[in-house]
Amino acid sequence: MSRLLQPPRRIEVRLDRRGRPTGLSHRGRFFEVRRVCRRWRVEEDWWRSPVARDYFEVETSGFVGVIFRDLAAGGWFLERVYD
């Protein structure tokens, strides 16, 4: 099971030199990213309002979930948490 967060929650993310997440802060708590399980990019709807996001499925010190970097508007977000 998973929980989709609507709207996605803004988070702060630490990156390594290759641009991979190594840690994130959410609601005042820091979580170490232990593993990036998958990474993918979504780019669509360019004719209306652009959507360009880099998604990461991550295993952290507190949860497993999906985060993304919004390339069009800027910022990092937590979108999904797995049970």
Tell me, what's the pLDDT at 46?
66
Q: Each residue of 15-68: pLDDT tens digit?
A: 999 999 999 999 999 999 999 999 999 998 766 778 899 999 999 999 999 999
pTM of the model: 0.91
Q: Which of the 8 DSSP states describes residue 73?
A: T
Tell which residue, 51, 48, 46, 56, has the closest CA to residue 71: 51
CA distance 3 to 65: 9
